[in-house]
Structure 1
Amino acid sequence: MHLTFNRFFASVIIIFFCGAVNANSEEKELKVLQFNIWQEGTVVPGGFEGIVNNIISLDPDLITFSEVRNYKQVDFIPRLVRALAIKGKTYFGEVSTSTGIISKYKIEKQEVVFPLGDDHGSVLKACVKIDGKEVVLYSAHLDYLNCAYYLPRGYGSSDWKKLEAPVTDIDSLLADNRNSQRDDQVRAILKDVQKEKVKKSIIFIGGDFNEPSHLDWQKDTKDIRDHQGVVINWDCSVLLSEGGFIDSYREKYPDPVAYPGFTYPSNNMEVDVKRLAWGPDADERERIDFIYYHPHPAISLKDVRVVGPLGFILKGQRDNGGNDPQHIVPKDIWPTDHNAILATFIIH
C-alpha cells in the first residue's frame, strides 16, 4: 500500500514539475520584412502613407528597406518612425542612405558595412537585443547595374536596350554579372558575419539583390520564363549558401516551378505599366528580394510570404497569374514596383 501511494505521489510531482517547465519556457514570433520602397514611395501617389499603413497592417518586428534617398534634406527613417508613432506604433531607427532599418527593439549599434558609391547600392547593419539575445540584421540594396539576368531575355544588363539576340553563354553571363559590385557587397557581409558568429549572434539578411537565386535557375526552370535553356549559378546566392546562409523562401517552398515567389516587377495598379516593365517583350518576372538567415539553435523558420498586388507584369502587359497560394494582398496603397517578403521566425 505504501509503495503504491509513493509511486502515485512521485508521478504527481513529476507531472507538476514538467508542467511548470513548459509554462515557463517561452517561444516568441519574430517577423522580418524586406521592403523595397521605390524612391521612398515618391513614384506612387500617396506612396509614403502606403509605406506607413502597410507596415502597420503587416506588423513586422524588423524591417530592411531599399531605396532610401532622404529627399529634400528630410531624413526618411526618422520621418517614418515619427509617422508610425503618431499611429500608435513604436519603432526605432537611425539616419541612413540607400538602405535603411527600423526595429521594434532599440537599435544598440548601426554601421555601414559597404558604403554607397555612385549609386551602386550599399549594405547597412544594425544590432538589437531580443530577450537578452544578440540579433544582427543586414540591409542590402545591391548594385543594379550589370543586371545579367536580362541578357538571356534579350535585353542589355545596364541600359536595358533590346539586343539582336539573347545571350546564353554561361561564361559571358557570369563575366557581365561580376562587373557589378554585388559579389563584393555580399563578400563584405560575409566578412563582417565572421565576428558575429564568434559572438553567437542571431543573423538575418534582407535585401533587394538585383540578382536572382541560383536555386531558381536550374534544370527545372531552364525552358520557362525566358531562361532560354540557361542553367546558371548566380554569384550572390551561391556565396551566401557557401557561407552557411539559408534562403528563407526556398527553405519553405523548395519548388521554384510551383512556388516561383516573384518579387519583381510588381503589378502596381497605381502606376502606368510602362514604368514597371524594363524588358517589355520578355518574361522578366523574377525573385530578386530575399530574407536570408544563418542557422542558430535559438531560432526556427515558421512561415514566409510574398506581399504585394495580385498579378505581375508579363511581356509589358498586366497579367493576373503567377502568384503563389500564400500571397498576401496589401490592404492599402502599394508604394513600390517590388513585392515585399515577410518571414516569420520562432525565437526559442
Structure 2
Amino acid sequence: MRRNIIVFFLVVLSCLGCNDGKLRELRILQLNIWCDATVVPGAFEALVDEIARLDVHIVALCEVNNRDGVTSERLVEALKRRGQTWHGASGRCNGVQGTDVCVLSKYPIEEITTGLSTIMGGVDMKVRIDVKGYDVLLYPAHLDYTHYACYLPRGYDGITWQRLSDSETEPATVLKMNRESTRDEAIAAFLDDAKTEQADLILLTGDFNEPSHLDWNEATREKWDHNGCVVPWDCSMQLYEAGFRDVYRVVHPEPTICPGFTYPSDNSEKEIKDLTWAPEADERDRIDFIYYMPDGAFAPKEAKVVGPSSSIVRSERIQEVGNDTFIEPLGIWPTDHKGVLVTFEPIRKN
C-alpha cells in the first residue's frame, strides 16, 4: 500500500510539472499551400485538418493569395470550429510574390510588420510572438520562382522549363542564372533587417525556390541528376556566412541518408503532368526551409517531412527510400510541396 501511495504522488507531481506553465518544446510547420489551397479539390479543409492534428505551435504558410477572403482569418475560424484557438497574421498579399505569406500561432502575436521588401520575391513580413515569455521573431518568405537554375544540370532551362540539348554542369554558369533571380537580393535584405533585431529565437521560413549548398556537395554530385555538379547555392551560403543554420541539416547532417526532399511532392489527387516541370529528369530537391539563428535560447531537437512519402521522378510516382521521417497526410494532401516540421527545445530559461 505504501509503495502504491508513493507511485501515486510521483504521477501527480509529474502531471503538475507538465502544466507548470513552462515551455517544454516549440513545434513549427512550414508549408507552401499551392495557390492558396485551391488547386486540389478539398484542399482548404484538408489543410485545416492537417494543422489541427499535427500538434504544432506555429505555422508559416506561403503561396497565400487571399482568393476567398483573408486566408489567415479563414484558417483561424476553421480551426476554431474544430475546437482550437489560434492567432493569425497575414502578409500584404498584393499579388507580388513574397507578400503571399501568413503565420498562425497558438501563442499571442505581439507585433506584425509588413512592407519590408520592395522587390518581387522579397522577405516582406516579420511577426513577433510571445511564446510563454520567450520572444520569437519569424520572417515567412516565398522567394522568386524564376531562373530556377537547379534545372540546368538536369538538362532543363530554368527560365522556360524547356528541355536543353545537353546538361549545363559548370557551377559558374549555373550560379550566373541563379543570380539573375531576386533570391540573393531578398536574403541580403532580410539579413540587413534581422541584424537590427533582438529576440530569443529568430526564424526564417519559406519556399526558397533554390536548393542548399549542403545538398549539392561532393557526396551528392552523382545523385538525383546533379550530373557531377557541386554548387554553392547563394541563399544558403549567405545565411550560413551570417550565422544562420538550416534546422533540417542540423538534425540530419547527411543528405545522402536523409535527403529531405520537399519538391515535387506526389499528390494522388492530381495527374503526374500537373506535378512536374522537368518530366524526363529527377528534379527532387529540398527547397522549403526553416532557418534559425543559434543564440543559446533554443536548440533543434527533431525535424520531419510532412506529406506523402512518395515523389515524382521522371514522370513516375516513386516511394522515397531514405531515412527521413515522414508524417503522412490524413487523407487529401493540399499541395504539390511537402512541409517541414521542426521541434526546438528551450535550453535557456526566459
Distance 1:61 1:25 in 2: 15
Give the number of the structure whose residues are more often helix, by fraction. 1
> Matched residue of 1:85: which SS?
helix
Most deviating of 333-342 and 319-328:
319-328
1:38 matched to which residue of 2? 34
Distance 1:214 1:133 in 2: 31
Q: CA offsets per residue over residues 314-347 of structure 1, 9 Å max, x none?
A: 0111112345341111113110000000000112
Distance 1:185 1:323 in 2: 32
Does the alignment pair 1:99 with 2:101?
yes
Most deviating of 40-49 and 88-97:
88-97
Does the alignment pair 1:336 with 2:332?
no
> Matched residue of 2:326: which SS?
coil
1:7 matched to which residue of 2? none
Distance 1:210 1:321 in 2: 21
Identify unmatched segments of 5+ residues in structure 1.
1-18
Distance 1:31 1:122 in 2: 22
1:159 matched to which residue of 2? 160
Looking at CA atoms only, which structure, 1 or 2, has the larger radius of gyration? 1
Distance 1:276 1:324 in 2: 23
Instruction: Confirm or deny: 8 A CA contact 1:37 1:65 kept in the other structure.
Output: yes
Does the alignment pair 1:85 with 2:80?
yes
Deviation at 1:90, TM superposition (A): 1.0
Distance 2:89 2:301 in 1: 29
Most deviating of 215-224 and 122-131:
122-131
2:278 matched to which residue of 1? 279
Normalising by the residue count of structure 1, what TM-score does the alignment of the two structures yield?
A: 0.89
> Matched residue of 2:214: which SS?
helix
Compared CA separation, residues 108 and 75, structure 1 to 2 (3 A):
same
Distance 2:81 2:62 in 1: 23
Compared CA separation, residues 322 and 180, structure 1 to 2 (3 A):
farther
Compared CA separation, residues 346 and 215, structure 1 to 2 (3 A):
same
Q: CA offsets per residue over residues 36-63 of structure 1, 9 Å max, x none?
A: 1001111001000011000011121111
Q: CA offsets per residue over residues 251-307 of structure 1, 9 Å max, x none?
A: 111111111000000011111110001000000011000111111222111100001
1:249 matched to which residue of 2? 248
1:314 matched to which residue of 2? 313
1:71 matched to which residue of 2? 67
Q: CA offsets per residue over residues 110-139 of structure 1, 9 Å max, x none?
A: 112643756x46432100112222110110
Identify unmatched segments of 5+ residues in structure 2.
1-12, 94-99
Instruction: Confirm or deny: 8 A CA contact 1:123 1:141 kept in the other structure.
Output: no
Instruction: Confirm or deny: 8 A CA contact 1:92 1:102 kept in the other structure.
Output: yes
Deviation at 1:200, TM superposition (A): 4.1
Structure 1 residues 108-119: aligned runs within 5 Å = 108-112=110-114, 114-115=116-117
Compared CA separation, residues 294 and 104, structure 1 to 2 (3 A):
same
CA RMSD of aligned residues (A): 1.9
Instruction: Confirm or deny: 8 A CA contact 1:123 1:185 kept in the other structure.
Output: no
> Matched residue of 1:269: which SS?
coil
The one-letter code matched in structure 2 to 1:153 is R
Deviation at 1:232, TM superposition (A): 1.0
Compared CA separation, residues 116 and 49, structure 1 to 2 (3 A):
farther
> Matched residue of 2:250: which SS?
helix
Normalising by the residue count of structure 2, what TM-score does the alignment of the two structures yield?
A: 0.88
Structure 1 residues 142-291: aligned runs within 5 Å = 142-196=143-197, 199-291=198-290
Distance 1:222 1:87 in 2: 46
Deviation at 1:81, TM superposition (A): 0.9
The one-letter code matched in structure 2 to 1:47 is A
Instruction: Confirm or deny: 8 A CA contact 2:263 2:337 kept in the other structure.
Output: yes
Instruction: Confirm or deny: 8 A CA contact 2:305 2:324 kept in the other structure.
Output: no
The one-letter code matched in structure 2 to 1:77 is S
1:4 matched to which residue of 2? none
Distance 2:258 2:216 in 1: 13
Structure 1 residues 122-137: aligned runs within 5 Å = 122-137=123-138
Compared CA separation, residues 113 and 29, structure 1 to 2 (3 A):
farther
Distance 2:139 2:63 in 1: 15
